[in-house]
Amino acid sequence: MSRFIPNQNEHREKMLREIGVGEFGDLLEPIPEKYRLKEKLQLPEPISELGLNREFEEFASRNTGAELACFLGAGSYDHFIPAAVDHILLRSEFYTAYTPYQAEVSQGTLQAIFEYQTMIARLTGMEMANASMYDGASSAAEACLMAMRSTRKQRILIAGSLNPRWQDVIRTYLKRDDFEINEIPFLDDGSLDLETAGKLIEGGTAAVLVQYPNYFGLIEDIQPAAELIHGSGGLLIVAADPVALPLLRSPGDAGADIVVGEGQSMGIPMSYGGPYAGFMAASAKLARKMPGRIIGRTTDRAGQTGYVLTLQTREQHIRRDKATSNICSNQALMALANSAYLSLMGERGFREISSQCYHKSHYLEKKLLEIPGISRLFSKIPFFREFVISLPVSSIAFRDRMIEHGILAGLPLVELGEGAMLVTVTEKRTRDEIDRYAMAAAEICGGGTS
């Protein structure tokens, strides 16, 4: 018997007697004989705790990418996580609980998520937020569906400067004949082509979706896009980078109706892609069109404050085929990580993180621009944390050579040119690492030291 199963043979026999069957096999009577497995599953022999630890250490040691200085971003970021975050997540009370269906014994989760909703709403400058979605990309896709439900229009315009993986997810979620997705191209300077957008909007568009800052790290003023789509009765969806928000004008202030984003950079490790947490915030009038769980504050029979799942009639377990989404499990524990992180960082800490990302990325950019042959693409528009450089060598070859220097240099964007590379600098990168990046780049690009 494994260390997870308490009942021994004597218990089993006693229980089978109570049930009124002679042996375990009698309980399988409802399963037709032909389907009952005669052979045991072909799986490796069981392993001890100690052995499993070793096996995992071995797996981990083969992930050599985790040892490099990470200048790779594009939707997942290597940020500092205070130790206290994990201590909160490792409370059994949080991580071994289920969805808070029985509110009276789930106030911990419920209040924590209520506070999470508040933090997301405040950061994004919106009136409300839900309890989280799977990730930023699926949250963006759900926001498109929400906009279509709300406006009863079936066309979505997505910015070409939106993360291409997110574009793929949106296309998957909106894959049906009566839905139309068009792309708004970006101009040579990397900004949204508003003139084309104006034409594409005509004839009924549910929403325009822009990324802020965009996939290339560019900080665009999104208000003109908001005005454009509002003028035709549609909504503006903004896919926002939360780490930029302490510095930048909030999407809500600029006119967004729905704001989505990826919460990974707020206290969640990169973990090879997940679990992360998508957030979704919106204006109050869209509350009933929102997908996912929403926590609300109320009172109990004695008048004490308490929290419950609310507006549940939007959800699948009640509205079934007419629900606003099929989402059930979300990423609650990751939302808790977000709120623990934001609580610890607080007003000042999170702004400091944001500011350091800004300055460190600019420091690297300046260093790189000193190297002959390296230039920045879209250099007229300010950027945050990420920028695109054009290298005199192939960006894939550059990336591979940089690995030899112990550096994950960034993401090659070959669609923008053979030498194009998206480079990210978070607050975690030290000046020494940044200087090493620049020196190695100079060497690879054929120049001297900078």
Partner 1 sequence: MSDIPEGFRYTDSHEWVKDLGNSEYMMGLTAYAQEQMGEIVMVEFPGMLDFNSGEILGSLEAVKTAEDFYAPFDCKVVRINEGLEDEPALINENPYDKGWLVVVKTDDPSGFNSLKSAEEYTEFIGE
Partner 2 sequence: MKTVFEISSPGRIGVSLPDLDVPATSEIPPGLLRENGGKTGLPEATEGQILRHYVNLSTMNHHVDKGMYPLGSCTMKYNPKLHENLARIRGLSGLHPLVPDELAAGSLELMYRLGEFLCEITGFEGVSLQPAAGAQGEFCGIMIIKSYHESRGEKQRNEILMPDSAHGTNPATSTLSDCVVVGVESNEYGLVDPEDLKRKVGPLTAAFMLTNPNTLGLFESRIEELTSIVHEAGGLNYMDGANMNALLGIAKPREMGFDVCHLNLHKTFSTPHGGGGPGSGPVICSEELARFLPDPVVIREDDGSIRFSRNQDSFGRLLAFQGNIGVLYKAYAYIRTLGAEGLREVSENALINANYLKSKLADYFDNPFDNGPCMHEFVLSGDRQAKLGVRTLDIAKRLLDYGFHAPTVYFPLIVHEALMIEPTETESLEELDTFVEAMVSIAGEAVEKPYLVTDAPVNTPVLRLDEVKAVKDLCVVEPVDKGENI
How far apart (Å, rounded) are the C-alpha atoms in residues 295 and 59? 39
Residues 6+ apart with CB under 8 A from 243: 77, 79, 265, 266, 350, 353, 354, 357, 385
The entry of partner 1, partner 2, none that residue 345 binds, CB within 5 to 8 Å by partner kind: partner 2
What's the min distance (Å) between Cβ of 169 and partner 1?
29
Which residue stretch of 183-191, 201-209, 224-232, 317-325 sits at the interface with partner 2 (rule: CB under 8 A)? 317-325
Site for partner 1 in 274-293 (CB under 8 A): 288
> By CB under 8 A, is residue 318 in contact with partner 1?
yes
> By CB under 8 A, is residue 238 in contact with partner 2?
no
The entry of partner 1, partner 2, none that residue 202 binds, CB within 5 to 8 Å by partner kind: none
Site for partner 2 in 380-439 (CB under 8 A): 382, 384, 399-400, 403, 408, 411, 427, 430-431, 434
Closest residue by Cα to residue 428 from 5, 194, 145, 80: 80
* CA torsion through residues 200, 206, 212, 216, sign: negative
> By CB under 8 A, is residue 232 in contact with partner 1?
no
Which tokens go with 172? 């998957």
Site for partner 2 in 179-218 (CB under 8 A): none
Decide: 393 and 419 in contact? Cβ < 8 Å.
yes
C-beta closer to partner 1: residue 100 or 255: 100
Residue with tokens 């209520």: 114
What's the min distance (Å) between Cβ of 152 and partner 1?
10
Site for partner 2 in 253-282 (CB under 8 A): 253, 262, 269-277
Decide: 204 and 228 in contact? Cβ < 8 Å.
no
User: CA 270 → CA 72, 75, 274, 400, distances in Å?
Assistant: 11, 10, 7, 21
| Binding characters for partner 2, 24-43, by CB under 8 A (x = yes) | x-xxxxxxx-xxxx--xxxx
The residue count for binding partner 2 (CB under 8 A) is 209
> By CB under 8 A, is residue 319 in contact with partner 1?
yes
> By CB under 8 A, is residue 199 in contact with partner 1?
no
Which tokens go with 219? 């900080």
How far apart (Å, rounded) are the C-alpha atoms in residues 18 and 22? 10
| Residue 352 host element (H or E) | helix 332-369
DSSP letters spanning 363-409 = HHHHHHHTSTT-EETTTTS-BSSEEEEE-SS-HHHHHHHHHHTTEE-
C-beta closer to partner 1: residue 241 or 315: 315
> By CB under 8 A, is residue 106 in contact with partner 2?
yes
What's the min distance (Å) between Cβ of 199 and partner 2?
27
**Helix (H/G/I), strand (E/B), else coil: 355:** helix
What's the min distance (Å) between Cβ of 131 and partner 2?
7
Cis peptide before 372 (omega within 30 of 0): no
Q: Exactly one of 3, 176, 301, 322 binds partner 1 (CB under 8 A); which one? A: 322
**Helix (H/G/I), strand (E/B), else coil: 161:** coil
> By CB under 8 A, is residue 298 in contact with partner 1?
no
Decide: 245 and 213 in contact? Cβ < 8 Å.
no
Site for partner 2 in 133-152 (CB under 8 A): 134-138, 145
> By CB under 8 A, is residue 154 in contact with partner 1?
no
C-beta closer to partner 2: residue 199 or 297: 297
What's the min distance (Å) between Cβ of 230 and partner 2?
19
Residues 6+ apart with CB under 8 A from 322: none
> By CB under 8 A, is residue 22 in contact with partner 2?
no
Which residue stretch of 85-93, 120-128, 166-174, 318-326 sits at the interface with partner 1 (rule: CB under 8 A)? 318-326
C-beta closer to partner 2: residue 189 or 221: 221
Phi, psi of 249 (to 5 degrees): -50, 135
The entry of partner 2, partner 1, none that residue 426 binds, CB within 5 to 8 Å by partner kind: none
C-beta closer to partner 2: residue 202 or 302: 302
> By CB under 8 A, is residue 111 in contact with partner 1?
no
How far apart (Å, rounded) are the C-alpha atoms in residues 438 and 154? 48
**Which residues lie across from 408 on neighbouring strands?**
70
| Binding characters for partner 2, 358-377, by CB under 8 A (x = yes) | xxx-xx--x-----------
C-beta closer to partner 1: residue 322 or 348: 322
* CA torsion through residues 411, 416, 418, 421, sign: negative
Crossing angle of the two packed helices 194-201 and 223-230, in degrees rounded to 10: 20
Which residues contact partner 1 (rule: CB under 8 A)?
288, 312-313, 318-319, 322
